[in-house]
Structure formats: C-alpha cells, structure tokens
A and B are shown apart, each in its own frame.
Chain A
Amino acid sequence: MKIFGPNELLEEVINKDLCIGCGACIHLCPYFRSYKGKTAMLFPCTLEEGRCFAHCPKIEVNLDELSQQYFGRPYEGGPLGNYLSIHTSKAGPKVKKASFQAGGTVSALMCFALAKGHIDAAVLTDKDGILPVPRVITDADDVLQCSSSKYAASPTLSALNQAMTDEYTKIGVVATPCQVLSIAQMRMNPLEKEDFTDPVALVVGLFCTWAIDFRAFAPFISERIDITAITKVDIPPPPSEIMEVFMGDDKIEIPLNEIRELVPDTCSYCIDMTSEFSDLSIGVLEGRPDMNTIIIRTERGQKIVNEAVQEEYIVLEDILEENLEHLMWAGGNKKKRALVKAKEEGLVNAEGDKKSYLRLQSNTVDEITG
C-alpha cells in the first residue's frame, strides 16, 4: 500500500473530482470536513503520511493486498468477489414493520446484531429530507429510523471515525462499496499505529451502481416538488427504470436516465457493485420488491446470519438460478466498464511517481477488461 499525505489527497482526489464524499477522512483530524455531500479541506496540513490518504477508497487501493488480508488470496476479479453463499432474504417476524427498502434485511440484521451484543454500535445513515445524515446508533430500537435507501452519496464513514474516537470496540457498519473498500483499508492499520485494534465487528455492504451528487440532486428535486415534504425515495428493482419520490400518499416518478445525469463521474470508475470486502452484502432482488439478495462472504457474517435466522430476525430462501446469473452479469459488467475507463485514464497500476487509483495483478486486469 502506497501511503501519502493530505496534500496528495487534495491534489489527486478532491481537486480531480474523484472524491465521492464517503467520509473516510472526516473526524480523523481538524482539516477535512463534510458539508452537504462535499468533502472540503479547511486548512493545509503538512504531514507526508496520513490516515486520510491511507483510508481513501479512491487512491492507491491495492486490491491484491486487501484480498490477501481478508480472503487469503490475491484479487481474482470475479463479478461478485469472494463469497461463501448467495441467498434471498427479508426481515423476519421479530422485526417491526418499517419503511424498508425491499425486504428490510439490512435493518433486521443491524437490529439483531445490536440487540444480541454482536456489535456495541451501529454506524448507519439517517436522512434529513433527501440529505443523508450519518449516525452512530447504540439502541436496537433506533435502527429502524435509519431504514430505507438514501440515493445521495453519504459521508457515513465520518460516523465510523466518530464511533472509534468514542472508543466503541465492536462496531457494525452499513456501507456502500466505496465505503466498504475504505473500511477494509482502515482495518489493516496502514499507518502501523502501535495501539491499533480492529474496532469493526460487522461490515454489511450494500449493492450499488452509483450514488447521486446531493448538490445536484437538491436543486433538481426542488424544481419539481417541495423538498421538505418528501417522506421516502425509492428505486424499485429492475426492470422498472424509475425513481419514486413519495410525499406521504402522493408520489412522483422520475425516469432514471434523468437521475443518472446527477451521478458524479467518480462512480463510473468504481469496479465494485456488491461491496466485495464486506462480511455480508445485501441488495435488491430483480422482480421482487419485497425481497433482498444476500451474499455471505465471511465466517463471522455466516455466523450472524445463522443466528438471525434462528432468532427469526430474518428469513432466508434459495436464490433462483436466473436471478443469480443476472446478478453476475450486472456485477461483471460494471467491473469491466469501470476498469476499462480507469485504465484509459491511467488510474490503474500507474508507474513511477504517478499515483494510481487501483493496483492489482496485470493479468487480472486483462482478464476483467478482455
């Protein structure tokens, strides 16, 4: 892992509009702050190596090192990453009905993990209108207030950094693929701090094809409806190509191709659709708005799922072959498209003094892009 400091982060990520505003560099120091979806550097910092750079998922991400650390082998570039098994799922009878996205598996699992002490704090994303608001939740009853998707990019990892500062030691995080990548880097203690112990007990990754730039989203929505009256935003699973914006019982539908105009360019470099470095990855299930797809990747993820099923927090079912095939196709497609683009821009395995977004074995690059 190549590590530099805040000036390189500013130069290579923020100034080049590669920052997605994940929050990985927020609350580590007084210099980086997030405001309405954008990360700003308030004052210059002169350090040559910093956690801000080391944890950033948009610069010098060594996929082989990460894969070796978490899965015991170099990065292989499969469409969905490494996993143990894939199922469909939804919230079980133990969980109160809430305004879930799809089957409510994520909220159900976080409720379970908190209630049973698998984690001592849950880093989740609440919302204020359409603005995502990172939260540290410690009471299982408060998890549901953060249910349902936020489509604008969120600095959720700022809450993880806050939870670490507040000395929680078994933190559960619900995160997007870029955030999961950052967490994976952070857990490797890249600055080799002596007093470091891994504070993360559960990483639930979300499926994600892109996020929306809040600063473009807010005026876009304001032109159409009263932003303060919004109660929920949803993108139903394929094949429907719309975003639904609810205001109580009323809703408007916006074609997704209009929404895609609001996606920052940095999402188009992202090779990960399913949060490959998580314990569990969860997303929608094609054609089934009431269900989720769940990818179990690690032993500790498997253990929590097993117990949650046993305690009736979630219900697990087999996934249909055609759904799995489509998921693979979608994951592989995103990966290939993104890597081709990143390579063209010189952001993969850059040589000499040049900083690279991704580093991975060159034959793997060829396999993915071939």
Chain B
Amino acid sequence: MSALLDKNDGVEHLLMGNEAIARGALEAGAKVATGYPGTPSSEIIESLAGVAKDADIYVEWSVNEKLAMEVAAAASFAELRSLCVMKQNGVNVASDFLLHLAGSGTRGGMVLVPCDDPGALSSINEGESRFFARTVEIPLLEPGNFQEAKDMTKWAFELSEELKQLVMLRSVTRLSHASGNITFGSLPANDQKARFKCDGFILDPDEGVVISAPVDYKHNQQHEKLKRAKEIFEDSPFNTYEGPEKPELLIITSSACTLYSREAISILGLKERVGLLKMGTTWPLPPKLLTRYLSRAEKILIVEEVLPFLEENVKIIAAETASEIGIKKFFGKNDGTIPMVGELNPDHVIKAIATILEIEYLPRPEEYTAKTQGLAFFGAPQRELIFCPGCPHRASFWSIHNALELDGRKGFVCGDIGCYTMALLPTGFTTLKTVHSMGSGSGLASGFGKLGQFGLDQPVLAVCGDSTFFHTAMPALINARHHKSDFTLVVLDNSGTAMTGFQPHPGLEVNAMGDNVPDLDIAEICRSIGARVEIRDPFELEETRETLNELMEDNEGLKVLILRQICGLSPEKKAGKKYEMAINEEICLGENCGCNRVCTRIFRCPGLVWDKEKQVTKLDEVICIGCGVCADICPAGAITRKEAV
C-alpha cells in the first residue's frame, strides 16, 4: 500500500511536496479530487488517483481546468470536501467559474491548489496565481515547507468549511517537486454521504440556491468572510517570526522563499541582526500582526517570486498604519533589490541583504567563478531542447515542414502547449510560428483563416495534441466551421497527455483511477463538426506529406489531419522495438554532396550519432527505439530496418 495511506499517526515519511499536499487532502477527508495535468502540479492528482480505490475517493483528470473546478465544486455543494489542482495558468482557464464560485460560496470544504512555476522551468509563461485570490476575494495560503504543505492543506479544508468559501493554497515548483520529511496526522473514518440541499430559503447558504446573486448581498457576505479570515489569520501558527526583538532589517516572505531567506541569513551569520517574518496566510494579510512586526524595524525587505503580491499588500498596511509605525524604507521587487523575473535562490537573497546592510560578500570566490565559467564555455557540450529518440512529433513536423516548403506559399503553423511546442526550435525544424495558451493554435488559425478577404494568401495550419484537442481546441474548431474559416488542423495524437506523464484524457478508454470508460473518437467528433478528416501514421513520411499538401490546396473550409502514433516513452512502446536498425558505413555519404549529414545535421534523432573520425553516422542502439523513420530520411539507403523479432 502507498505510504500516502499510512494510518499510523505521527509516523514520518519522505514525501514530495505534491504528495504532502495529497496526504493533507486525505487527512482532511476530501472525497473528490480533480485537475488538469500541468507541471509542476500533476503529481497531486496522480498520487491521489493511485490510492483512490483504497481511500474510497473519486479522482478525475478533467477535460480542462474550468471543468475540474466545476466538478470539484459540485462535490462541495453536496457537502463533501473536494480538492482541485492545476498549474498557474490553469487558473486563468478556470477563472470565470472561479469568480462566480467565490460569489456563491461553498459548503463542503473546497481547496484550490495552483502550483506556480517561477522561472518558467516547465512553462512558456511566468504566471502568478495569487492575484486571483485577491481579485475574486478568497483566502490564500502559502506553505513554506514540506510539513506545512501537508498541514496547511488539511487546515485549508477546515477554514473553507468555517468560512463557507473556497480557499486557495498556492505551491511553487521547488515546494511541489522537492522532497522532505513529513510527520503524518491521522486519517479520518470516511463514510460521508453526498446530498445537495437546494430547496431551502433562497439566501440560505446551506440549503438555498447556489448563486452569486443577489450580488450586493452576496458580495457583502464575501467581505464578511474575508474579515473573519483576517481575524483567524492574526493567530495562525503558520505565520512565524524568528530573529531579534529589534532587527536592523525585517524580511517578510512566504512559500519556498522562506527557505532561501533563512539560508541567506544563516550563511551571512546575521541571525542577531535580521528578522524573518514568514507568512503562511498571505491574503487577506492579518493587519495587526503585520503592524506589530513592521513597527520593530526601519528597513523592510520583501522576498517573493513572480509578482510583488506580498510587497504591495504589506505596503498598503504600512501606509494605512504609518502614523502608528512610522515611515519605513522598503526593499523588494519594486526597487529592483529582488529580481522581477525568474526563480529566486539563496544567492539572490544574500545579494539583497548584503546590499541593504552594506556587507561585503561574494557567494563564491571570483577565481572559482571565472574558472567555472571558462570551463562551461569551452568544455560543456551545447545542449538544446530536443524531441526524444523515435518521437512521433519529429516525424510529423518533418512532413509538415516539407509540405509547407513544397507548397511554397509561405504557409505557417500556429501551435500551442505540449511537447510539440518544441517545434519552435530546430528539433521541430522551426515549424511553429505562434504559441500561446492551450488550444490557442486552433483559435488563432480560425482567425487567420478568415483573412483571405484582406489578401492573406498563405496556407494556415494549426497543431494540437490529443489532450489539448479536448481541452480547448474543440470550441475553436466549431467556431471555424460555423464561420467558414479556411485552415488545416493537425492533431498530433500520441495517445495520452504525454508531456506531463501519460495522464489519460477522453480519447482513451481508461480514466485516472484505471477504470474502463467510454473513449471519444477525435475523428468522429471532427466529422460531426463538418470538417474534412484524414487519418495518417506520421511515420509514413511521404503519405503524410502528400496528404498535407492536398489538404492545404483544398480551399473549402476546415480540414483535420489526425497523425496517430503513440508516444515513444509510453509504457506500451518502451516494451520493445518495432525495427532493428542498422547503418552501412560503406554506403553512408557523410558530408559529401548528395547528403551532407541530413540525418545528424537536420533530422537529428538522438539515436543517430555523427562519428567525426570515420565521417559516417553511427547508431546509438541503447537509445534507438526502432521507429524506423530514419531509413526513409537517408538518401543513400545506408540506414536500413528489419522487423524486430
């Protein structure tokens, strides 16, 4: 049995931050957990899905984040506790429902966990979810370590139930993906029944209609809830202070930055001079607590990642209480002491403190820095983001690129979010020309496809993954069909939400918990919308290219090409190679006219390696997955494949 279900109260386990959050939800007795996959959030739902049967909970990968929040909210309305998880920008997708949910209030405890990705390590945005808490006026919690990730999650459900309001608990990559020791609490007996009471007095929060209107009444109620939250937060054990009574510098921080700040103070040996106020309840800020600590110091440094959320809110309190606490000197993102962009680390905080307190400190000797930089420049191999060996996307974009070049009308491809986003780069032959949010490639193409009347004569293409198709590409297709927009959507169907770890989606016959469920056929959906639909295997390069050219030349509205080939890393494929590949070094043309290393210079599957000494291509048999595609790339016939036994 998974450690997540360990019933022993007080036992310690080494857990990832995301698993700690999952355990917190289990200790709170959450019955329903939903989400849409997205790094760094995915392991929360995955680990809950893994124990769903034993824990008797319901877990789903919803079609998108808005659906995830609605499904979780239904459980709350039926008096169950529910958890909803997404990455930072997922909150944008869910935000319309979020606004109305904050207005209507909740019943069973409901917690929204967005996991932000400072520095955009696994994102193409550096989105900030905390402002949503302020915008829709719901309480916000930020755990500062792994134990808190578990404990605050559990507490968030209690808080939500007390306030009858959704509570947001924000994590970040370094909390979600790092691991620490967690002391477990008890798991509750779990026999709660779902019942939606909706026949009571219309304004009754427990039995009336669940709605954000009448707005003035409900909005007032919301503010009462926030007031109550402030009172609770004044005494929260998750807001802590460590340091001298009268620090020269007060650092106010939250989340993973607590760890960076503590480390910085320790390295600089400033425990007697610098105070650290770590806030776990960051919206609404408890004003009395803040006033108390602000009055102790003249210099205030606010350390946080992404946007200056905490900084702004602290400054408001400082302005309001200036007559009481005096004028302060603030340092943070606004004045540039803390970088506005990118992930923080202890060095950033050390630099900030050293500057403010005028301390000479170099995180490492200059000589060492120079030496490592020199070594990195001359010695480290250049590495770039690249598709895996045998990735179907490489083959798909090879054909898309070639079809566009042959067509010659300067056609272009609108992309969105998935492994295939990397087709912006040489690994995908720099094929993508726009990338925004999930499903937006199709939406943009729907728009480009209407610009013919203004002279746009370039063929318009979009790509989306199979999971993205269900997420938000479908409405774009419907829009395009209805408005007679002319474009070709290529669905890169690799049979799973591959980038985030093969989470299931509605196109598959299994759900998050491993149950058999109806699978929805993307081709049939597109046909029912009225699109011309073709299905090809992207490993059949010439056939795929021909089909694409034909579709691009068909000016009659919406076309869909489904390129179906399972991801090379999927458990099914990892089991064995389809082909045994071989390279005949005698035939390989190498850098000569007639080839010029097309396989290792352009196609660049990592399974093919250029042997500088011999001037031929070699096969890396360890990583080659035997997809067979390179045999069709080689102009000399030096690469051959035979069916693996």
Inter-chain CA distance A35–B408, complex, in Å, is 9
Q: Is the CB of A41 within 8 A of B593?
A: no
Q: Which chain A positions have C-beta within 8 A of B596?
A: 29, 31, 45-47
Q: Which chain B positions have C-beta within 8 A of A191?
A: 593
A216 CB to closest chain B CB (Å) equals 13
Inter-chain CA distance A42–B399, complex, in Å, is 10
Given the contacts A28-B594, A50-B593, A38 and B408 also touching, CB distance less than 8 Å: yes
B59 CB to closest chain A CB (Å) equals 46
Q: Is the CB of A30 within 8 A of B598?
A: yes
Inter-chain CA distance A36–B594, complex, in Å, is 23
Inter-chain CA distance A46–B595, complex, in Å, is 11
A8-57 residues with Cβ-Cβ distance < 8 A to B are: 28-31, 33, 35-36, 38, 40-43, 45-47, 49-52
Does B407 interact with chain A (Cβ within 8 Å)?
A: yes
Q: Is the CB of B595 within 8 A of A29?
A: yes
Q: Per-position contact with B for A185-197: 1 when CB-CB < 8 Å, else 0? A: 0000001000000
CB < 8 Å neighbour of B593 from A35, A38, A42, A49: A49
Q: Which chain A positions have C-beta within 8 A of B594?
A: 28-29, 51
Q: Is the CB of B405 within 8 A of A42?
A: yes
Given the contacts A28-B594, A29-B593, A29-B595, A40 and B405 also touching, CB distance less than 8 Å: yes
A368 CB to closest chain B CB (Å) equals 34
Q: Is the CB of B593 within 8 A of A43?
A: no
CB < 8 Å neighbour of A42 from B402, B549, B595: B402
Q: Which chain A positions have C-beta within 8 A of B593?
A: 28-29, 47, 49-52, 191
Does B31 interact with chain A (Cβ within 8 Å)?
A: no
Inter-chain CA distance A45–B598, complex, in Å, is 9
Q: Per-position contact with A for B397-419: 1 when CB-CB < 8 Å, else 0? A: 00001100111100000000000
Does B429 interact with chain A (Cβ within 8 Å)?
A: yes
Output the residue of A28, A41, A43, A52 with the most chain B CB within 10 A: A43
Chain B residue, CB-CB nearest to A215: B408
Interface of B is mostly: helix
Given the contacts A30-B635, A43-B429, A43-B602, A35 and B595 also touching, CB distance less than 8 Å: no
A49 CB to closest chain B CB (Å) equals 7
Q: Which chain B positions have C-beta within 8 A of A28?
A: 593-594
Q: Which chain A positions have C-beta within 8 A of B405?
A: 33, 40-42
Given the contacts A43-B602, A50-B593, A30 and B633 also touching, CB distance less than 8 Å: yes
Inter-chain CA distance A145–B397, complex, in Å, is 37
Inter-chain CA distance A50–B408, complex, in Å, is 23
Q: Which chain B positions have C-beta within 8 A of A51?
A: 593-594
Q: Which chain A positions have C-beta within 8 A of B401?
A: 42
Chain A residue, CB-CB nearest to B406: A35
Chain B residue, CB-CB nearest to A29: B594
Q: Is the CB of A29 within 8 A of B549?
A: no
B558-615 residues with Cβ-Cβ distance < 8 A to A are: 591, 593-596, 598, 601-602
Q: Per-position contact with A for B470-510: 1 when CB-CB < 8 Å, else 0? A: 00000000000000000000000000000000000000000
B4-60 residues with Cβ-Cβ distance < 8 A to A are: none
B529 CB to closest chain A CB (Å) equals 28
Chain A residue, CB-CB nearest to B595: A29
Q: Is the CB of A30 within 8 A of B595?
A: yes
Q: Which chain B positions have C-beta within 8 A of A42?
A: 401-402, 405-406
Inter-chain CA distance A49–B401, complex, in Å, is 25
Q: Which chain B positions have C-beta within 8 A of A40?
A: 405-406, 408
Inter-chain CA distance A28–B596, complex, in Å, is 11
Chain A residue, CB-CB nearest to B589: A29
Inter-chain CA distance A52–B596, complex, in Å, is 13
Q: Is the CB of A43 within 8 A of B406?
A: no
Q: Which chain A positions have C-beta within 8 A of B549?
A: 35
Q: Which chain B positions have C-beta within 8 A of A30?
A: 595, 598, 602, 633, 635
Output the residue of A35, A51, A191 with the most chain B CB within 10 A: A35
A41-82 residues with Cβ-Cβ distance < 8 A to B are: 41-43, 45-47, 49-52
Q: Per-position contact with B for A331-367: 1 when CB-CB < 8 Å, else 0? A: 0000000000000000000000000000000000000
Q: Is the CB of B635 within 8 A of A29?
A: yes
A174-194 residues with Cβ-Cβ distance < 8 A to B are: 191
Chain A residue, CB-CB nearest to B546: A35
Q: Which chain A positions have C-beta within 8 A of B406?
A: 33, 35-36, 38, 40, 42
Inter-chain CA distance A30–B549, complex, in Å, is 18
Inter-chain CA distance A191–B595, complex, in Å, is 15
B304-349 residues with Cβ-Cβ distance < 8 A to A are: none
B428 CB to closest chain A CB (Å) equals 13
A107-134 residues with Cβ-Cβ distance < 8 A to B are: none
A27 CB to closest chain B CB (Å) equals 9
Inter-chain CA distance A31–B603, complex, in Å, is 12
Chain B residue, CB-CB nearest to A27: B635
Inter-chain CA distance A51–B406, complex, in Å, is 21
Q: Which chain B positions have C-beta within 8 A of A31?
A: 596, 598
Output the residue of A29, A30, A31, A191 with the most chain B CB within 10 A: A30
Output the residue of B405, B407, B549, B593 with the most chain A CB within 10 A: B593
B613 CB to closest chain A CB (Å) equals 20
B383-408 residues with Cβ-Cβ distance < 8 A to A are: 401-402, 405-408
CB < 8 Å neighbour of A33 from B402, B591, B633: B402
Q: Which chain B positions have C-beta within 8 A of A49?
A: 593
Q: Is the CB of B407 within 8 A of A35?
A: yes
Q: Which chain B positions have C-beta within 8 A of A41?
A: 405
Q: Which chain B positions have C-beta within 8 A of A33?
A: 402, 405-406
Chain B residue, CB-CB nearest to A52: B593
Inter-chain CA distance A49–B429, complex, in Å, is 24
Inter-chain CA distance A75–B601, complex, in Å, is 42
Q: Which chain A positions have C-beta within 8 A of B407?
A: 35
Inter-chain CA distance A309–B328, complex, in Å, is 109
Inter-chain CA distance A43–B598, complex, in Å, is 9
A28 CB to closest chain B CB (Å) equals 6
Inter-chain CA distance A369–B596, complex, in Å, is 42
Inter-chain CA distance A33–B402, complex, in Å, is 9
Inter-chain CA distance A30–B634, complex, in Å, is 8
A294 CB to closest chain B CB (Å) equals 36
Inter-chain CA distance A43–B428, complex, in Å, is 12
Q: Which chain B positions have C-beta within 8 A of A43?
A: 429, 598, 602
Inter-chain CA distance A28–B595, complex, in Å, is 8
Q: Per-position contact with A for B617-645: 1 when CB-CB < 8 Å, else 0? A: 00000000000000001010000000000
Inter-chain CA distance A207–B292, complex, in Å, is 98
B182 CB to closest chain A CB (Å) equals 52
Q: Which chain A positions have C-beta within 8 A of B591?
A: 47
Q: Which chain A positions have C-beta within 8 A of B598?
A: 29-31, 43
Chain B residue, CB-CB nearest to A35: B406
Chain B residue, CB-CB nearest to A54: B593
Q: Which chain A positions have C-beta within 8 A of B635?
A: 29-30
Chain A residue, CB-CB nearest to B599: A30
Chain B residue, CB-CB nearest to A50: B593
A178 CB to closest chain B CB (Å) equals 20
Inter-chain CA distance A61–B408, complex, in Å, is 27
B104 CB to closest chain A CB (Å) equals 56
Inter-chain CA distance A191–B601, complex, in Å, is 23
Output the residue of B402, B549, B594 with the most chain A CB within 10 A: B594
Inter-chain CA distance A51–B407, complex, in Å, is 24
Q: Which chain A positions have C-beta within 8 A of B595?
A: 29-30
Q: Which chain A positions have C-beta within 8 A of B429?
A: 43
Inter-chain CA distance A367–B635, complex, in Å, is 46
Output the residue of A28, A31, A33, A50 with the most chain B CB within 10 A: A31
8 cross-chain pairs, A with B, having the tightest CB-CB distances, nearest first: A35-B406, A30-B598, A40-B405, A30-B635, A43-B602, A50-B593, A42-B405, A45-B596
| 14 A-B residue pairings within 8 Å (CB atoms) | A28-B593, A29-B598, A30-B595, A30-B598, A30-B602, A33-B402, A35-B406, A35-B407, A35-B549, A36-B406, A38-B406, A43-B429, A43-B602, A45-B596
Other than the given A35-B408, A42-B405, 18 more pairs (CB < 8 A) read: A30-B595, A30-B598, A30-B602, A31-B596, A31-B598, A33-B406, A35-B407, A38-B406, A40-B406, A40-B408, A41-B405, A42-B401, A42-B402, A43-B598, A43-B602, A47-B593, A47-B596, A50-B593
